[in-house]
Structure 1
Amino acid sequence: MPVIRIEPVEDQASGRYALEIYYPADADRPLVTTTPRYKSAAAAEQDTIAILSAAANNPPPEEPASNR
């Protein structure tokens, strides 16, 4: 079962796409809505994948044991 749902939505005023992020995936309303900055739904989806990939492949440095 998916934990989150991400959907591109077109802004009628600008013609650009925003992202709506739903958590949990079956939520009725988005938890986060971005500004409409993408030229297409595909561009929005590709950028989302790139952002998630970059974050997953570059975790923050581990905190030293003395600070835990």
Structure 2
Amino acid sequence: MQTVYEIQQFLKKFGTVIYVGDRVADLELMETELKELYAAQLIEPADFQSGIMLLRHEIRLEREKRQKEK
């Protein structure tokens, strides 16, 4: 997985659609969902790792963006 969109599509396969309206909250919920799927052994370790790394990167970028806007 290389984009947030790909993660969203991946989660849809498991019946999970996330949209809260807050980008950081959405990303954090996606991270939680990936963790739960991995803990339940429903996804491969490689999918889990790439998804988590991408989401954490996007969360960090979004928080930095918000800090600059203040």
Higher relative contact order (CA 8 A, sep 6+): 2
TM-score, length of structure 2 as denominator length = 0.38
Pick the structure with more helix per residue: 2
Question: Of the two, which has the highest radius of gyration?
Answer: 1
More strand by share: 1
TM-score (norm 1): 0.39
